[in-house]
Structure 1
Amino acid sequence: MELRPPLPPFTAETAAQKVRMAEDAWNSRDPDRVVKVYTEDTRWRNRAEFPVGREQVHAFLVRKWAKELEYRLIKELWAFTDNRIAVRFVYEWHDDSGQWFRSFGNENWQFTPEGYMEQRHASINDRPIAADERLFHWPLGARPQDHAGLTALGL
């Protein structure tokens, strides 16, 4: 199995790097790219869905990004230990009617020694917002390095 650095045990620096790499991958909205960081038998909890394995995760992501249009995400390291990372995140998106949402969440991740995520537990709440309340305005794709994070944005 190919290594996916940074590898556990995590330091503050490598945990933050892993979080930013995950954020960049998710902002690509490319299920083929995103699933490669998970183990073949990864186990998730995402709201009321419990996908198991890369195939189910891929299908989940395809459905997600078909519904959550113009998706832009910011993740922030909350805590870490040897092979686990806790993250808080916020993302903005709109549905097919044009209604914007800001989704707030927390994730708990567990990694293999090779750096693959084997477990992802997410809790997420959505809040409708007006288009003029949006805070994430960068072009679709990775958040620019100089764009404010969650704490700086007061989120």
Structure 2
Amino acid sequence: MTVSQRPPLPPFTSESAAEKVRLAEDGWNSRDPAKVVLAYTMDSQWRNRAEFVDGREAIVTFLTEKWRRELDYRLIKELWAFDGNRIAVRFAYEWHDDSGNWYRSFGNENWEFDDSGLMRKRYACINDLPIRMDDRRFHWPLGRRPDDHPELSELGF
């Protein structure tokens, strides 16, 4: 394994695809753009909602701004499908803005990986649902979701 490899590597199995999804979730829940960006190729291409982001530097900028706006961010990702070097994911995350308004954002992502296991393409479609604070379902301490916390399917999402 070289330093630039990011296991698990394609082609994915059911187990390795699920592991890749959980590792991505854990990274994003760190809310550390410098850590998260290491999972992407230097020239990674994103479409996030209607925004296009190209390359690691732009990804760091994008994520820094995202987590400056989306406070107390907690995310759950779930494997939807996989084939070869591609994985489809569905996700939900909860956050609030600086006025205290809470949201649950739902979405789907399509990922494509290079042979080293780095993500070279990420396409995300996301919808935001305003929620009341007492409707929140993601209550773990900031950071990695505990292993015993329900998955999206278990929460009925």
The TM-score bracket by the shorter chain reads: over 0.9
Q: Which residue of 1 aligns with 2:36?
A: 34
Q: 1-side partners of 2:49 and 2:86: how far apart? A: 20
Q: 1-side partners of 2:63 and 2:40: how far apart? A: 13
Q: 1-side partners of 2:53 and 2:124: how far apart? A: 12
Q: 1:22 aligns with which of 8, 21, 24?
A: 24
Q: Which residue of 2 aligns with 1:105?
A: 107
Q: 2-side partners of 1:93 and 1:4: how far apart? A: 28
Q: 2:125 aligns with which of 119, 123, 126?
A: 123
Query: Any unmatched runs of 5+ in structure 2?
Result: none
TM-score (norm 1): 0.99
Runs of 4+ in 1 over 3 A off after TM superposition: none
Q: Which amino acid aligns with 1:39?
A: T
Q: Which residue of 1 aligns with 2:50?
A: 48
Percent of matched pairs sharing the same residue: 66
Q: Which amino acid aligns with 2:146?
A: P
The two structures, once aligned, show a CA RMSD in angstroms of: 0.5
TM-score (norm 2): 0.98
Local SS of the residue matching 2:153: coil
Query: Any unmatched runs of 5+ in structure 1?
Result: none
Q: 2-side partners of 1:54 and 1:3: how far apart? A: 16
Aligned counterparts, 1:77-92, within 5 A: 77-92=79-94
